[in-house]
Amino acid sequence: QANGIQVKKSGKERAKNKADKANKIEACFMIGKNAIAETGSKNVYLRIEGPDGVVLASGTESNKFEADGEQLMYSAMKEINYNGGSEDMCMGFRLPDNSEFKAGRYAISVYADGKKIGETGLTLE
């Protein structure tokens, strides 16, 4: 599930579906139970592609990871300690101040262990 969020100066967050009101996109998902997956420290990557096909990122070339044999840009990364059980988590990308999202559809993908583990979409009006 993905939402547009307006983060106020006070830190309070409200769901918004208008591109000119939202300043953060957040995706919440569950990493499923997997008895054969390696446990321990893992990096989970969130990749948000805008309506123009550009991946939202902090602008540095170091925001890359490898998946399915290619280098991809990511919007956010979180290190987790995976124990083999299911785990709910949320990750997001916040725009720099004085920036706006473009109206349209955003393609959101989640990766771990070099593979896509989930995807969804979000439309901001």
Amino acid type, 19: A
Note whether 76 and 91 are within 8 A (CB). Answer: yes
Q: What is the Cα gyration radius of the chain? A: 15
Q: Where are the domains of the chain?
A: 2-124
C-alpha dihedral sign at 70, 79, 52, 120: positive
Note whether 120 and 12 are within 8 A (CB). Answer: no
User: Residue 76's pLDDT is what?
Assistant: 95
Q: Which fold has domain 2-124?
A: Immunoglobulin-like (2.60.40)
Which residues neighbour 36 within 8 Å (Cβ) at sequence distance 6 or greater? none
CA dihedral 37, 38, 39, 41 (to 10 degrees): -120
Tell me how far apart the alpha carbons of residues 12 and 56 are, in angstroms, rounded to a whole number.
Answer: 23
Percent of the chain with pLDDT over 90: 72
More confident residue, 57 or 61: 57
Percent of the chain with pLDDT over 70: 98
Instruction: Specify the DSSP class assigned to residue 75.
Output: S
Q: What is the pLDDT of residues 3-51, one digit of tens each?
A: 999 999 898 999 999 999 999 999 999 988 887 888 889 999 999 999 9
User: Residue 33's pLDDT is what?
Assistant: 86
